[in-house]
Structure 1
Amino acid sequence: MAKAEAVKKREPVKTRRPPVGASPGTLIADPSARRSELRLTLISPQKFKTIENASIDDLNTHCDKWPVIWLDCTGLANIPLIEEIGRIFSLHPLALEDVVNTGQRPKVDFFEDHAFVVVRMIDDVTSHRYEQIAVFFGRNFVVTFQEREGDPFNPVRKRIESSAPNRLRARGADYLAYALIDAIVDSYFPPIEAAGDMVDGIEDEMLHSTHKQQMRQLHELRRDANVLKGVLWPMRDALATLIRNDVPYVKAETKIFLNDTLDHSLRLIELVETQRDMLTGLIEMHLSLSQARTNDVISYLTIVSVIFMPLTFLVGVWGMNFDPESSPWNMPELKAYYGYPEALLFMALVAFGLIGFFKWKKWL
């Protein structure tokens, strides 16, 4: 497996909020918000119609003529447009405030004639960027707000556009909302499974050799797992709340499908928890292997030092400037005819003798 990419520096996430003391429901656009664009999908059991770059006039014209309408707003820069959408569908102003103030925790709020669901989607895996998607739905409408282009809704759109009869056109707005939420939850599987493959690859590499880059990759993956855990747990709670509450615009048969989405979210949480435990274990294993490698190096250096210590002693003794002619006690072996080869042979015997001793003790 190819080595993972180097850790990239993350940009801090900044959330635009109303000033302190502002009236509840005050909408203030983020200066970095994208330009707002509307896509209107009109749905009936027999047919459908999609209007790209729709306007409020298109919405007013078709709003009461189709059993189900889906309005998708991409970009949150146009505050008057968002307020007008809220007026047409009677959306609660506090919910609209949460739409504009991105970075909300996944949740579900119920109002008299509609529900408000906040979920988070992995927008860009490489840059670790998440995007908030807000979903409103009532008896005959679904309104979604996205921060920017790009979403996992293409399979849902293809099912709506299919010529074959399908549940998305035959059932109501609550089923369409379920399909959109289910697509968001299922979009977490590919990046989480890819992260699992990366963890397995790093583990295989570590069994052969360890290096500093692996530790950086492991810390990065564990940080991603912690972020995913912080997103998936409240998403699970939101889905459970959506299933438990008895509101007239969420049918009992739709709750059966929402239960399946809840199961998917629980499986995602289990995958993330397992990966997080594996990453914690791999980090500890990396530290242990690195420490063991350091100990091995120190052991070999110590053995080499011990071998050379007596040799250094002998060389130091024979290197002293004694005069054997002045006294028979002044190192007479300095004038031995084979003194040099005999000294080398003796030192070699000492070195090999120490190596044999270390092997006998199983230190080598």
Structure 2
Amino acid sequence: MALAEPNGNRRHRQHARPPVGASPGTLIADPSARQSALNLTLISPDACEFVDDASLDDVEAACNNWPLIWLDCVGLANIGLIEEIGRIFHLHTLALEDVVNTGQRSKADFFDEHAFFVLSMIDDARTSRYEQISFFFGDKFVVTFQEREGDPFEPVRQRIRTSNPSRLRHRKADYLAYALIDAVVDSYFPIVDATGDKVDAIEDELLAAPRKQHISQLHGLRRATSLLKRTIMPLRDALTTLIRSDAPFITAETKVYFNDTLDHAIRLAETVESQRETMIGLIEMQLSLSQSRTNEIIGVLTIVSAIFIPLTFLAGIWGMNFDPASSPWNMPELLWPYGYPAALGFMAFVAISLVLFFRWRKWL
């Protein structure tokens, strides 16, 4: 993805950028980009075909023979191939530059014959791996560019395969673009829900028995949630731009569906923000509980010290080297047969008296 991977380690990817002063629309491939492969989906009201590892000749032929095509380019290493796709569909070079320069903020741009929409998606739910995906759609085509294999589009492909009446077969490219973007947005819900379950579990453990590892767990989740927030927040603005556009290739009926996707994005943003606030509150609560526990321990040690200070004083007095034979004032208790038990009894009396006094003052 453009920003980082929330797997507990901070990682920053360096992206290939055109040289300073280069002509606008210059395409520079990232050295780590995957090799490009084309997957072609051909759609009509009565039939559909799926062509894996398609060639540019297949794409050009499909443009003339099918009412709606979806071209999915997986991998961004082959700049020449991407430029040829741009030539076939008349894609703007500035938008193609944003395709290969991954790390773009979610946005929607409009050109004469097509729209450009870019966002980040989760292509591996187990590791929460992100990547940038770019959409171009006009009147009869949808072109998507992915960084690598793996996407949430299989349900959309299944709907295209369905033989019974399907909106994806009977409507134009704007509805197909909606279905794909909606699938990307909905793919965030399992990640957000799983994060919420982890936060709830940590909260229960924290209230029952706080442990030091809770802090590191909460910090890791908060970092991942902050990344989600940075990803989802711009998505709302991009969807709003799509809905408010007056492009002729986006129908009013499809805007209603895009508005539903916007509602999902808003709900995700609100949930993520709520989780983030909850985690901050739990971190503060953990610190407060730790401080309270420390104060409790210090208080107990202070009480114990307060009890033993006078006893230590008495033991020090009786432990001095006095000679009772030289004077009656030189501690006559040293020759008293009951001096030892009397001294212990007096010390016990002092200790018990101090405990009762502390309880009376509600210090214990």
Query: TM-score band, normalised by the shorter chain?
Result: over 0.9
- Write the distance in 1 (CA, Å) between the matches of 2:11 and 2:110: 34
- Write the distance in 1 (CA, Å) between the matches of 2:72 and 2:238: 21
Equivalent residue number for residue 351 of structure 1: 351
CA drift of 1:153 comes to: 0.7
- Write the distance in 2 (CA, Å) between the matches of 1:327 and 1:348: 29
Equivalent residue runs for 1:137-286 within 5 Å: 137-286=137-286
User: Amino acid of the residue matched to residue 166 of structure 1?
Assistant: S
Equivalent residue number for residue 317 of structure 2: 317
CA drift of 1:186 comes to: 0.6
- Write the distance in 2 (CA, Å) between the matches of 1:336 and 1:149: 95
CA drift of 1:128 comes to: 5.2
User: Amino acid of the residue matched to residue 228 of structure 2?
Assistant: L
3-state SS, counterpart of residue 63 of structure 1 = helix
3-state SS, counterpart of residue 130 of structure 1 = strand
User: Amino acid of the residue matched to residue 20 of structure 1?
Assistant: V
CA drift of 1:39 comes to: 0.6
Per the normalisation by structure 2, the TM-score is: 0.95
Whether contact under 8 Å (1:39, 1:51) holds in the other structure is yes
User: Amino acid of the residue matched to residue 234 of structure 1?
Assistant: P
Residues 44-73 of structure 1: CA deviation (Å, up to 9, x unaligned): 111110011111121122221111100111
Equivalent residue number for residue 87 of structure 1: 87
3-state SS, counterpart of residue 60 of structure 2 = helix
User: Amino acid of the residue matched to residue 160 of structure 2?
Assistant: I
Question: 5+ unaligned residues in a row in structure 2: which ranges?
Answer: 1-5
Whether contact under 8 Å (1:10, 1:128) holds in the other structure is no
Equivalent residue number for residue 60 of structure 2: 60
1:296–1:139 CA distance, 2 compared to 1 (3 A): same
- Write the distance in 2 (CA, Å) between the matches of 1:39 and 1:131: 18
* Greater alpha carbon shift after TM alignment, 250-259 vs 225-234: 225-234
- Write the distance in 2 (CA, Å) between the matches of 1:207 and 1:159: 47
- Write the distance in 2 (CA, Å) between the matches of 1:343 and 1:75: 89
Equivalent residue number for residue 3 of structure 2: none
Equivalent residue number for residue 78 of structure 2: 78
- Write the distance in 2 (CA, Å) between the matches of 1:323 and 1:192: 82
Does 2:21 align with 1:18?
Answer: no
User: Amino acid of the residue matched to residue 358 of structure 2?
Assistant: F
Equivalent residue runs for 1:287-298 within 5 Å: 287-298=287-298
1:125–1:306 CA distance, 2 compared to 1 (3 A): farther
CA drift of 1:7 comes to: 7.2
3-state SS, counterpart of residue 65 of structure 2 = coil
CA drift of 1:10 comes to: 2.1
Equivalent residue number for residue 308 of structure 2: 308
Whether contact under 8 Å (1:44, 1:169) holds in the other structure is yes
Whether contact under 8 Å (2:139, 2:172) holds in the other structure is yes
Equivalent residue number for residue 106 of structure 1: 106
CA drift of 1:127 comes to: 5.1
User: Amino acid of the residue matched to residue 120 of structure 1?
Assistant: S
Percent of aligned pairs with the same residue? 66
- Write the distance in 1 (CA, Å) between the matches of 2:27 and 2:34: 15
CA drift of 1:17 comes to: 1.0
Residues 117-137 of structure 1: CA deviation (Å, up to 9, x unaligned): 001112445655421100000
- Write the distance in 2 (CA, Å) between the matches of 1:218 and 1:359: 39
User: Amino acid of the residue matched to residue 8 of structure 1?
Assistant: G
Whether contact under 8 Å (2:34, 2:77) holds in the other structure is yes
- Write the distance in 1 (CA, Å) between the matches of 2:346 and 2:154: 83
User: Amino acid of the residue matched to residue 108 of structure 1?
Assistant: A
3-state SS, counterpart of residue 28 of structure 2 = coil
* Greater alpha carbon shift after TM alignment, 160-169 vs 22-31: 160-169
Equivalent residue number for residue 3 of structure 1: none
3-state SS, counterpart of residue 285 of structure 1 = helix
1:7–1:265 CA distance, 2 compared to 1 (3 A): closer
Structure 1 residue ranges (4+ consecutive) displaced by more than 6 angstroms after TM superposition: none
User: Amino acid of the residue matched to residue 215 of structure 2?
Assistant: M
Equivalent residue runs for 1:323-342 within 5 Å: 323-342=323-342
3-state SS, counterpart of residue 341 of structure 1 = helix
User: Amino acid of the residue matched to residue 345 of structure 1?
Assistant: G
3-state SS, counterpart of residue 131 of structure 1 = strand
Does 2:113 align with 1:132?
Answer: no
3-state SS, counterpart of residue 240 of structure 2 = helix
Give the CA RMSD over aligned residues.
1.5
- Write the distance in 1 (CA, Å) between the matches of 2:348 and 2:123: 68
CA drift of 1:13 comes to: 2.5
1:268–1:187 CA distance, 2 compared to 1 (3 A): same
Question: 5+ unaligned residues in a row in structure 1: which ranges?
Answer: 1-5
- Write the distance in 1 (CA, Å) between the matches of 2:221 and 2:181: 26
1:282–1:185 CA distance, 2 compared to 1 (3 A): same
- Write the distance in 1 (CA, Å) between the matches of 2:123 and 2:358: 60
Residues 261-313 of structure 1: CA deviation (Å, up to 9, x unaligned): 01101111110121122122222222221211111111111001101111111
- Write the distance in 2 (CA, Å) between the matches of 1:282 and 1:302: 30
